[in-house]
Chain A
């Protein structure tokens, strides 16, 4: 098999392209990757949060996204596209969001949804929820699947902080599906609903969602895989339908800053990038941010426009988003009374039941776990602390852990091997010297 796939993850590693260089191993923020027998693998699959850092940094492009391609969209009577607002930032200031939605129709989607509008609906619902529920603070956003997985795996104490409002893409998918079924009298299975995504994590949130049996979507397609066709289609648009209904509020979801514009009466923070997200979750866990109402968290730096599957430079994209926000203003056309009604009917409430997904402990027996922990310390003190990754583990501490778990050997450390060689050489030299006439 050419690919090493990870059934429950959003990436796969092409064994032929992988050179075993450890760049991904060192970049992985949760230390889930190991290089074994010269090839990288998501060895600690239970630690992986699907952030896509490995895909971003791989110099050989051996890490592939599990997102779908145009040829995968067969067998459906109606194809629906739900584009991430980040798509609006990919083509420069020349094309409006409406043009881009029309271009999606032109390349073959029968129905196109302005997902930015659903983002506005969800923001109003979040505002309502925050106003009526004040016991837990800060509440944490749930739209980034990698952030949700990070919380379930590393911050189970914060599960109650995840905002229980359904994500814009799931709401939009449900609404579009019902509408089309009603209008055309067809079955749900005949409708294919696809997210046009800036990141691979959205794919896993569809194929293997957490806290719920099934997603309302059928898959995700990378922005970069549709880029060329969309660019061509943009030049050939003839229709003048109005498909865009969103304002700048929903569009600014793309840079992870929608709460600042859409929740003016709340104290909210926008935090983007995996390192910063981890840092702020540490602060929340230590109960240091109780005066903040809402944290809008994106694992990608700069928000979704910084996703690993986009085309445009994230800074250029952020500037396009800022221009669009200015152009379309921050007055949403969504009627708040309608959202209140939907909340009352629990329609917008997220029904997911999140459970902690904590990694396996060293041992279920405490005495044995303590012994193993002491052994890890012992090995760690033996190792050189260079954190070079040459052994295939991301740090000396990680190698020490792997050794104790029986997954690696001390001799995997290149510096240990040099020591062994030196010992052996000294032994040899000793033998030679004794017989040397000089």
Chain B
């Protein structure tokens, strides 16, 4: 098993995307299937951008075994009051400033779920949100 933990800083657009890039590099070196790497990267990128946009900080845990890629995004932040609404395509709480940067189309979470093999979300308002994602190797 290979494990690595990354940290995403909320509000820091300068580094936005750097964690998903590192994850992509690791998966490539492991010679995993291209389509799988791309899916993992889409998920990591969306989740990372979400963390930059909404959270104070986010801990990203990556675990790879011969069976699966597991990613956990655990953030400290405002939390999500209505998860089913947040999972609706096109729904977004993005501010105007975020939209002006090209984010906030309301596709992040639904896209992550769609791309994962297994997806779980838990959230406590005022505490934070955790995403647990599995991608199976076979």
Contact = CB atoms under 8 A, between A and B. Distances in A.
Contacts of B13: none
B31 A366 contact: yes
Contacts of A356: 34
Interface stretch (A168-176, A184-192, A279-287): A279-287
A286 to B, nearest CB: 5
Given A157-B38, A285-B41, A286-B42, A370 B21 contact: no
A285 B46 CA distance: 12
Interface string B72-93: 0000000000000000000000
A282 B45 CA distance: 10
A370 B45 contact: no
Contact of B31 (A157, A361, A377): A361
A373 B30 contact: yes
Contacts of B34: 156-157, 356
A366 B31 CA distance: 8
Interface residues of B, number: 23
A234 B41 CA distance: 54
A117 B84 CA distance: 57
B29 interface: yes
A358 B21 CA distance: 16
A367 B26 contact: no
Given A157-B38, A286-B42, A286-B45, A361 B28 contact: yes
A282 B102 CA distance: 15
Contact of A362 (B3, B31, B137): B31
A370 B30 contact: yes
Contact of A373 (B20, B26, B38, B102): B26
On chain A, which size bracket covers the interface?
20 to 34
A361 B42 contact: no
B12 interface: no
Interface in A333-392: 356, 358-359, 361-364, 366-367, 369-370, 373-374, 377
A369 B45 CA distance: 24
A326 B106 CA distance: 44
A364 B38 contact: no
B29 A362 contact: yes
B14 to A, nearest CB: 12
A282 B16 CA distance: 12
Interface string A272-316: 000000000010011110000000000000000000000000000
Given A367-B66, A373-B2, A374-B2, A361 B21 contact: no
A369 B29 contact: yes
B97 interface: no
B32 to A, nearest CB: 8
A197 B65 CA distance: 49
A374 B2 CA distance: 6
Contacts of B4: 377
A337 B107 CA distance: 42
A370 B20 CA distance: 18
B30 A362 contact: yes
Contacts of A282: 17, 21
B30 A361 contact: yes
Nearest to B102: A288
B64 A370 contact: yes
Interface string B100-115: 0010000000000000
Contacts of A366: 30-32, 66, 137
A156 B41 CA distance: 14
Contact of B30 (A157, A359, A369): A369
Nearest to A376: B29
Contacts of B45: 286
Contacts of B30: 361-362, 366, 369-370, 373
Give the 8 A-B residue pairs with the shortest CB-CB distance, closest first: A361-B31, A370-B2, A373-B2, A369-B30, A286-B45, A362-B29, A374-B2, A366-B66
Interface of A: 156-157, 282, 285-288, 356, 358-359, 361-364, 366-367, 369-370, 373-374, 377
30 contacts: A157-B34, A157-B38, A282-B17, A282-B21, A285-B38, A285-B41, A286-B17, A286-B42, A286-B45, A287-B42, A288-B102, A356-B34, A358-B28, A361-B29, A361-B30, A361-B31, A362-B30, A363-B31, A364-B31, A366-B31, A366-B32, A369-B29, A369-B30, A369-B31, A370-B65, A373-B26, A373-B29, A373-B64, A377-B2, A377-B4
